[in-house]
């Protein structure tokens, strides 16, 4: 048993970090992996005598993420069920390292590019936007407020789905993160090393879209750090809200139309 666990962690450390990068971008972002794995392994025993549908919605969501995770990494469930709690926590830390590293890198590169997309060379906005200070961003400026979600940065109060998640800046953000930064200018130079190519991603999904929307929202907001307390600009709540909307069965027609539109990118 000890030999199996030691070999798994020695051969999987780097790949677990890499898998965390991919999983955080494409399956579920902002996850506490050590807590998720620890709770989910204990829950597997409970589910032998009960059904997951009988649990609260948040527990069902966590279980769904856990199942996606173990299905996406060969041998992971075997390792987790045979390991001690410290082994489970260590795996979670490696996955979390990858996910947070990927998110941080995307945040850093998007922040430097996003104002160029909003204000192309030779153009100005009034009042001007600062490149280095974020206090004038977010709700403090028209072009960085919630209208960034809409095509043409305009929304119709009579039809809130009209143009929602169709904005140019979201398209640029998706290309920047999942294809390559150069693809934003329609001159792709490194698409074969982009995340979409490396992980065999063939089309945009609801999760990809929610992740990019969160990243763009954070780059545009007035705060310089992810917040868990500010109810207006909390990126975690924002991400979950977008994901909940895209997975809402009552909005299935609108979401289907939206994802069909995103297939072109």
Closest CA to 172 of 188, 183, 163: 183
d(CA 32, CA 110): 24
Could you state, in chain order, the average pLDDT of each consecutive group of 10 residues for the chain (265 residues)?
A: 54 82 92 95 89 90 94 90 89 94 90 77 61 50 74 90 94 91 68 54 87 90 51 75 94 96 89
Greatest alpha-carbon span in the chain: 66
210 vs 149, 203, 220, 250, CA distance in Å? 11, 14, 15, 18
Q: Please, what sign has the CA dihedral across residues 195, 199, 205, 208?
A: negative
> Are the CB atoms for 133 and 124 separated by under 8 Å?
no
Write down the pLDDT at residue 138.
47
Helix (H, G, I), strand (E, B) or coil at 220: helix
What radius of gyration do the chain's Cα atoms show?
20
d(CA 17, CA 126): 43
pTM of the model: 0.81
Helix ranges restricted to H, the chain? 2-26, 33-46, 57-71, 76-82, 85-118, 168-174, 195-198, 206-220, 235-246, 252-262
| Residue 127 preceded by cis peptide, ω within 30 | yes
* β partners of residue 156: 159
Write down the pLDDT at residue 4.
47
- Token pair recorded at residue 106: 């995307």
Write down the pLDDT at residue 111.
81
> Are the CB atoms for 25 and 208 separated by under 8 Å?
yes
Write down the pLDDT at residue 179.
87
- Token pair recorded at residue 251: 């909005």
Residue 3 has a CB neighbour count (10 Å cut-off) of 7
Write down the pLDDT at residue 161.
96
Write down the pLDDT at residue 142.
58
Instruction: For helices 252-262 and 235-246, give the axis angle rounded to 10 degrees.
Output: 100
Write down the pLDDT at residue 229.
47
């Amino acid at each position: 048993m000890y030999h199996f666990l030691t070999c798994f962690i020695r051969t999987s450390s780097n790949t677990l970090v890499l898998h965390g990068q991919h999983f955080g971008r494409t399956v579920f972002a902002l996850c506490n992996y050590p807590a998720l794995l620890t709770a989910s392994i204990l829950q597997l025993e409970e589910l032998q005598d009960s059904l997951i549908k009988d649990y609260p919605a948040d527990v069902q969501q966590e279980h769904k993420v856990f199942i996606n995770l173990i299905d996406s990494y060969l041998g992971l469930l075997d390792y987790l069920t045979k390991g001690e709690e410290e082994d489970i926590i260590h795996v979670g830390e490696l996955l979390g390292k990858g996910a947070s590293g990927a998110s941080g890198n995307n945040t850093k590169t998007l922040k430097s590019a996003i104002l160029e997309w909003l204000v192309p060379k030779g153009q100005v906005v009034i009042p001007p936007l600062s490149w280095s200070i974020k206090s004038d961003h977010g709700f403090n400026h028209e072009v960085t407020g919630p209208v960034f979600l809409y095509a043409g940065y305009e929304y119709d109060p009579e039809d809130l789905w009209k143009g929602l998640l169709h904005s140019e800046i979201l398209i640029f953000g998706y290309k920047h993160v999942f294809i390559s930064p150069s693809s934003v200018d329609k001159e792709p130079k490194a698409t074969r090393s982009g995340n979409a190519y490396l992980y065999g991603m063939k089309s945009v999904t609801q999760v990809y879209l929610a992740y990019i929307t969160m990243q763009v929202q954070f780059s545009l907001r007035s705060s310089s750090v992810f917040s868990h307390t500010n109810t207006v600009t909390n990126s975690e709540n924002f991400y979950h809200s977008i994901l909940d909307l895209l997975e809402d069965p009552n909005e299935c027609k609108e979401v289907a139309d939206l994802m069909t539109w995103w297939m072109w990118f």
